[in-house]
Amino acid sequence: MSDQPEMIRVEAVSKSFTLHNQGSVRLPVFRDVNFSVRAGEVLVLAGASGAGKSSLLRILYGNYLPSSGRIEIRHDGEMVDIASALPRTILEVRRRTLGFVSQFLRVIPRVSALDIVRDPLLARGLDPAEATERAGAMLARLNLPERLWTLAPATFSGGEQQRVNIARSFVDPSPVMLIDEPTASLDARNRDVVVELIAEARSHGSAIVGIFHDETVRERVATRWLDITNFRAAADAA
């Protein structure tokens, strides 16, 4: 795997939250996190609840700001530091390179399941007819009944919404994928589909960082582990 390019390089990343309206209490999360992920690897984040796994994932996406450190993502052959990039640069990196798969779908009024899944393909310039076909194939693979495809997912069950979200994320896997609990409310059959999708994305060269509560899923997808507890920051006075 060492001949594959580094897609993610995390250098000396620390995070703490300061709650200004609650006595300016400062909550340290982790300190001096360093790692890199190459194309074709799945790095699984481990550590107890509250250790900062989700915070780290959000920092990699540019959704949370690190308190210090660099987060470099390979985009168009160049390393871009997400921690200091302009908003428009981060959005461009997200559009073509960096994907986030959460367990929750942000439902937008009136937008159908099929359109939600098609959206990233259209944003990358695919022909609408082909985008529709691929989106439908992905929803079918995740066993979402066809009668639901043209409906807005607001009324769907949690598991159905989650599958729409997964379909959207894997219909055209990004070179770098961040995955937060993708199988949380799925049955065994659909969980297996997600494991397959992750393996396929990896074999196509995606670099993946993920959090998986389900132990069997974790064992099946991981190529490496990172225990975030090793970077615990000492609680200190504000």
Partner 1 sequence: MNALVSPNALTGTLRPILSVRSVSRFYGERIGCADVSFDLWPGEVLGIVGESGSGKSTLLRCLSGIDRPDAGEVLFEATPGADFLEIFDLPEQDRRHLMRTAWGIVHQNPRDGLRMNVSAGGNVGERLMDRGDRHYGRIREAAADWLTRVEIEAARIDDQPRQFSGGMQQRLQIARVLVSNPRLVFMDEPTGGLDVSVQARLLDLLRVLVRDLGLAAIIVTHDLAVARLLTDRLMVMKDGRVVEAGLTDQVLDDPQHAYTQLLTSAVLAV
169 vs 195, beta carbon nearer partner 1: 169
* Closest distance of CB 155 from partner 1, Å: 14
Between residue 53 and residue 72, which ones bind partner 1 under the rule CB under 8 A? Answer: 58, 61-65
178 vs 222, beta carbon nearer partner 1: 178
- Cα–Cα distance between 234 and 170 in angstroms, integer? 38
Q: Which of 162, 183, 220, 211 is nearest to 49 (CA)?
A: 211
Residue with tokens 């942000």: 106
- Cα–Cα distance between 156 and 25 in angstroms, integer? 39
Three-state secondary-structure class, residue 157 = coil
106 vs 189, beta carbon nearer partner 1: 106
15 vs 202, beta carbon nearer partner 1: 15
* Closest distance of CB 172 from partner 1, Å: 12
Question: On the CB side of 174, how many CA atoms lie within 13 Å of its CA?
Answer: 29
- Cα–Cα distance between 148 and 102 in angstroms, integer? 21
Between residue 104 and residue 143, which ones bind partner 1 under the rule CB under 8 A? Answer: 105-111, 116, 119-120, 122-123
Between residue 71 and residue 110, which ones bind partner 1 under the rule CB under 8 A? Answer: 87-92, 94-95, 100, 102, 105-110
- Provide the 8-state DSSP code for 67: S
* Closest distance of CB 123 from partner 1, Å: 4
Between residue 21 and residue 40, which ones bind partner 1 under the rule CB under 8 A? Answer: 21
Size of the site for partner 1 (CB under 8 A): 33
170 vs 222, beta carbon nearer partner 1: 170
Q: 72: Cβ–Cβ under 8 A, 6 or more apart, which residues?
A: 8, 9, 10, 11, 79, 80, 81, 82
* Closest distance of CB 82 from partner 1, Å: 10
* Closest distance of CB 211 from partner 1, Å: 15
Q: Which of 102, 74, 78 is nearest to 176 (CA)?
A: 74
* Closest distance of CB 166 from partner 1, Å: 13
Beta bridge partners of 26: 18
Between residue 187 and residue 226, which ones bind partner 1 under the rule CB under 8 A? Answer: none
Q: Which of 25, 14, 15 is nearest to 236 (CA)?
A: 25
* Residue 214 amino acid letter: D
Q: Which residues bind partner 1 (CB under 8 A)?
A: 17-21, 58, 61-65, 87-92, 94-95, 100, 102, 105-111, 116, 119-120, 122-123
